[in-house]
Amino acid sequence: MTPTDPAFDADEARRARNRRIEAVARWALPLAVVILTIIVWNWFSNSSATRGMIFPAPPKVWARFLADYGMLFTSLMVTLKITFMALAIAIIGGVALAILFTQSRFAELIFFPYAVILQVTPIVSIAPLIFIYVQDPLARVLICAWIVAFFPILSNTTLGLKSTDSNLRDLYAIYGATWWQKLLFLQLPSAMPYFLGGLRIAGGLALIGAIVAEYVAGISGSGSGLAFRILEASYRLNYPRMFAALIMIAIVGVIIFAATTFISWFFLRKWHESALRREV
Amino acid sequence: MTDLSHRPVLPQSQRPRLLEMAGISKVFNGSITALDGMNLTLNEGDFLSLLGPSGCGKSTALRLIAGLMRPTTGRIIWNGAQDRGDIGVVFQEPTLMPWATVAKNVWLPFRLRGQSFASVKDRIATALKLVGLENFHDAYPRELSGGMKMRVSIARAFVTNPRLILMDEPFAALDEITRQKLNDDLLALKDKIGCTVIFVTHSVFESVFLSDRIVVMAARPGRVVQELTVDAPYPRDMEFRTSPDYAAQTHVVSDALRIAIGDHSHDAH
Ligand SMILES: Nc1ncnc2c1ncn2[C@@H]1O[C@H](COP(=O)(O)OP(=O)(O)OP(=O)(O)O)[C@@H](O)[C@H]1O
Ligand SMILES: [Mg+2]
């Protein structure tokens, strides 16, 4: 179609052009930024010999990554395992607690302050205590990651469970719905968009929690996750390996974000405003 | 059963009693008197409108009948046993579950009674056909217009073939054309099924067109001021809407409403 087409006015033509540009830009722009970053980074590293030592050039990092692939990958698996276990427990615990909160106002009044205290106290300051009280190496790291990840799930799901339409609640009452039916058919679906929003935040936080816990555990501590590899490499002045591990963590973070975003879209695509594309 | 069964509607004087509100009062927070000594007898087959200004307790009356709250004083006496599914409700908003398709929304009353979708599929299809949405089973509420959503809401209220349907200003948010069409369709639907309807409205014209009984209420405190009957026979259609009889009836009801609101300027001469 051409702009002279009477059914395709100037406004529509502009919109169509913007859509085409956006479709390309969506991929091209981030890619260009990444490439540019690598070029600048490479230039910076090679601009002086000492700089190149502590700020290794991309080819060096890549070579190190290939050389340490087996070890780094094993560490990645450790970090991922902790992240996903923590996220799973955060989901179960967060949703269960949210359901409890919405069923009993008293339960909320009693437990909510603790949830807030856990949330606002920086994990690095709680972690040393946890490491004193909990001996099991997996459990201690898991607890740290869980504390960081569960709050957004709890608070979002609680909000969601409470925001059911009051007329629908009346309707359920008139039809004599049981507690269980109300929860399953009304409250949980209403809470879904809120829960998924919490999940997107919690996914990233679980990774952060896992990494921080590994740092606090330190070289003597548990497992051998990616954070442990970074610490270890820093003691050995192995800067390329630090970079390789760091970039792996960043990529995992991006993948978790993309995955939770996809999950959110998948569950809401049929009905929720957030997942619907409007052609205006 | 694939068809919604028909209850015979007798002439007004011979209708058996469905329920009685005896001296119903409702006071909120110990100070706001939403309803004061309301007496009302509802008979099977009635199409009864509650007409009155904002705050006169119309919604409160419906909520009391629906069993969503208890009266402060007085009793609601049902004739015969009360079973869930005996009441269907339509609110001012369509009140659909946005995550469920049209058919799944209409399934709700059955689902809450533990009946599977497959076992009531035919009844859902019949109800949707009655409201003219036979081609929208799998649509989501967001894909429908305001009028269509309201039709789904009506189908959901009728699908269990309840004895009583409560409607709280169901068409107030719709445009005039959609509203008239839904009024016509509602009468046709009621005629087919023969249920009893309590219909809350602010509109004199709507109440006269739809009902055979009109209860005019006043506010502060909420109370019944007058009961009127509309004698025009059903079915009513466009012809009735333009008839002198209709105009005369609306005039009578308007006057009653004006007195209820407390505007006596027309009584002076
Ligand atoms: N849950 C409640 N708590 C306190 N006051 C209430 C409650 N529900 C209703 N009221 C009050 O009771 C009175 C009657 O309310 P109701 O909703 O029944 O009026 P209505 O006739 O339906 O009005 P409208 O036409 O505006 O819907 C109003 O003054 C209202 O403020
Ligand atoms: Mg009302």
Reference B225, options B40, B59, B15, B31; nearest CA is B40
Q: How confident is the model at residue B4 (pLDDT cuts 50, 70, 90)?
A: low
Range of the domain at A11: 1-55
Give the domain-ending residue among A26, A55, A84: A55
Among B56, B92, B198, the mutation site with the greatest number of ligand 1 atoms within 8 A of its Cβ is B56
Q: Is residue B148 part of a domain?
A: yes
Of the candidates A167, A175, A276, the beta carbon closest to that of B112 is on A175
φ and ψ of B168, to 5 deg = -105, 95
Q: Do A106 and A116 belong together in one domain?
A: yes
Q: Do A166 and A253 belong together in one domain?
A: yes
Q: Do A229 and A93 belong together in one domain?
A: yes
Q: Is residue A75 part of a domain?
A: yes
What pLDDT digit, counting tens, does each position of B157-206 carry? 999 989 899 999 999 989 999 999 999 999 999 988 888 999 999 999 99
Res B123 pLDDT > 60: yes
Chain B hits for A186, Cβ within 8 Å? 97
What pLDDT digit, counting tens, does each position of A21-45 carry? 988 998 899 999 999 999 999 999 9
Q: Any residues with CB less than 8 A from the CB of B267 and at least 6 apart, and which?
A: B259
Q: Tell me the average pLDDT of chain B.
A: 90
- Which residues of B lie closer than 8 Å to A, measured between beta carbons? 63, 66-68, 84-85, 87, 89, 91, 93, 95, 97-100, 108-109, 111-113, 140-142
* Secondary structure class of B138 (helix, strand, coil): coil
In the structure encoding, which two tokens stand for residue B37, read together?
A: 């000594």
Res B258 pLDDT > 70: yes
Per-residue confidence (pLDDT) for residue B194, from 0 to 100: 87
Residue nearest to atom 25 of ligand 1 (CA): B54
Question: CA distances (Å), A141 to each of A174, A217, A254, A259, B105, in order?
Answer: 48, 8, 22, 23, 45
Per-residue confidence (pLDDT) for residue B8, from 0 to 100: 79
Q: Check A174 against B113: CB less than 8 A apart.
A: no
Q: Do A195 and A225 belong together in one domain?
A: yes
Of the candidates A171, A175, A271, the beta carbon closest to that of B140 is on A271
Per-residue confidence (pLDDT) for residue B106, from 0 to 100: 97
CATH assignment at residue A155: 1.10.3720.10
Q: Is residue B119 part of a domain?
A: yes
For ligand 2, an ion, list residues with CB under 5 A: B 59
Q: Do A47 and A86 belong together in one domain?
A: no
Q: Is residue B192 part of a domain?
A: no
Q: Do A43 and A136 belong together in one domain?
A: no
Per-residue confidence (pLDDT) for residue A11, from 0 to 100: 86
Give the domain-ending residue among A14, A35, A55: A55
Give the nearest chain A residue to B144 (CA atoms): A271
Question: CA distances (Å), A258 to each of A21, A128, A155, A199, A254, in order?
Answer: 23, 32, 22, 12, 6
Q: Where does A184-263 show beta strands of DSSP type E?
A: none
Q: Is residue B85 part of a domain?
A: no
In the DSSP assignment, the letter for residue B15 is: P
Question: CA distances (Å), B214 to each of A223, B172, B205, B229, in order?
Answer: 78, 18, 11, 6
What pLDDT digit, counting tens, does each position of A80-112 carry? 999 999 999 999 999 999 999 998 889 889 988
Highest-confidence segment of B9-23, B128-142, B232-246: B128-142
B230 and B213 Cβ atoms separated by less than 8 Å: yes
Kindly report the nearest CA distance between residue A160 and chain B, in angstroms.
Answer: 14
Q: Tell me if chain B has a CB within 8 Å of the CB of A173.
A: yes
B20 Cα to the center of ligand 1, angstroms? 21
Q: Is residue B55 part of a domain?
A: no
A207 and A253 Cβ atoms separated by less than 8 Å: yes
Q: Do A47 and A61 belong together in one domain?
A: no
Q: Where does chain A show beta strands of DSSP type E?
A: none
Q: Where does chain B show beta strands of DSSP type E?
A: 17-28, 32-43, 47-51, 73-78, 87-90, 164-168, 196-201, 213-218, 223-229
Q: Is residue A224 part of a domain?
A: yes
What pLDDT digit, counting tens, does each position of B26-67 carry? 999 988 999 999 999 999 999 999 999 999 999 999 999 999
Q: Do A23 and A155 belong together in one domain?
A: no
Q: Any residues with CB less than 8 A from the CB of A209 and at least 6 apart, and which?
A: A83, A86, A123, A144, A145, A146, A147, A148, A149
Q: Is residue B1 part of a domain?
A: no
Nearest atom within ligand 1 for CA of residue B29: 4
B112 and A175 Cβ atoms separated by less than 8 Å: yes
Q: Tell me the average pLDDT of chain A.
A: 89
Burial of A117 (0-12, 13-18, 19+ CB in 10 A): exposed
Per-residue confidence (pLDDT) for residue B135, from 0 to 100: 95
Res B264 pLDDT > 60: no
Chain A hits for B110, Cβ within 8 Å? none
Chain A (179-198) residues lying within 8 Å, Cβ to Cβ, of chain B: 181, 185-186, 189, 192
Range of the domain at B105: 97-161
Task: Tell me how many domains chain A contains.
Answer: 2
Q: Is residue B215 part of a domain?
A: no
- Round to whole Å and give the CA distance between B126 and B204: 32
Taking the model in full, what pTM does it have? 0.88
B165 and B87 Cβ atoms separated by less than 8 Å: yes
Per-residue confidence (pLDDT) for residue B129, from 0 to 100: 93
Rounded to two decimals, the ipTM of the complex is: 0.91
Kindly report the nearest CA distance between residue A70 and chain B, in angstroms.
Answer: 46
Chain B hits for A192, Cβ within 8 Å? 99
CB neighbours (10 Å) of residue B169?
20
Among B26, B35, B49, B60, the mutation site with the greatest number of ligand 1 atoms within 8 A of its Cβ is B60
What pLDDT digit, counting tens, does each position of A160-169 carry? 999 999 999 9
Q: What is the dihedral of CA A216, A217, A218, A224, to 10 degrees?
A: -130
Among B27, B33, B58, B207, the mutation site with the greatest number of ligand 1 atoms within 8 A of its Cβ is B58
* Secondary structure class of B11 (helix, strand, coil): coil
Q: Is residue A278 part of a domain?
A: no
Per-residue confidence (pLDDT) for residue A219, from 0 to 100: 56
- Residue from B70, B89, B93, B112 whose CB has the most chain A CBs within 10 Å, to mutate: B112
Burial of A173 (0-12, 13-18, 19+ CB in 10 A): middle
Give the domain-ending residue among A55, A81, A99: A55
What percent of chain A shows pLDDT beyond 90?
59
In the DSSP assignment, the letter for residue A183 is: I
What percent of chain A shows pLDDT beyond 70?
94
φ and ψ of A136, to 5 deg = -60, 120
Res B81 pLDDT > 90: no
Q: Any residues with CB less than 8 A from the CB of B236 and at least 6 apart, and which?
A: B187, B209
| Summary count for chain B: helices (H), strands (E) | 8, 9
Q: Do A94 and A176 belong together in one domain?
A: yes
In the DSSP assignment, the letter for residue B79 is: S
- Residue from A165, A167, A171, A269 whose CB has the most chain B CBs within 10 Å, to mutate: A171
Q: How confident is the model at residue A263 (pLDDT cuts 50, 70, 90)?
A: very high
Task: Tell me how many domains chain B contains.
Answer: 1
Q: Is residue A80 part of a domain?
A: yes
Mean pLDDT, range B117-139, rounded to an integer: 94
What percent of chain B shows pLDDT beyond 70?
95
- Round to whole Å and give the CA distance between A183 and A100: 11
Q: Is residue B175 part of a domain?
A: no
* Secondary structure class of B92 (helix, strand, coil): coil
Per-residue confidence (pLDDT) for residue A277, from 0 to 100: 65
Q: Do A10 and A125 belong together in one domain?
A: no
Q: Do A176 and A39 belong together in one domain?
A: no
Res A3 pLDDT > 70: no
Q: How confident is the model at residue B3 (pLDDT cuts 50, 70, 90)?
A: low
Q: Do A134 and A46 belong together in one domain?
A: no
- Specify the higher pLDDT residue, A14 or A219: A14
Residue recorded with tokens 């919490």: A198
Q: Check A177 against B112: CB less than 8 A apart.
A: yes
List, chain by chain if needed, residues with CB within 6 Å of any ligand 1 atom: B 28-29, 32, 34, 54-60, 222
Per-residue confidence (pLDDT) for residue B86, from 0 to 100: 85
Kindly report the nearest CA distance between residue A96 and chain B, in angstroms.
Answer: 22
Q: Is residue A276 part of a domain?
A: no
Please name every residue paired with B165 in a beta bridge, in sequence order, or none if there are none: B88, B197
Give the nearest chain B residue to A175 (CA atoms): B84
Q: How confident is the model at residue A280 (pLDDT cuts 50, 70, 90)?
A: very low
Q: How confident is the model at residue B268 (pLDDT cuts 50, 70, 90)?
A: very low
B128 and B102 Cβ atoms separated by less than 8 Å: yes
Q: How confident is the model at residue B1 (pLDDT cuts 50, 70, 90)?
A: very low
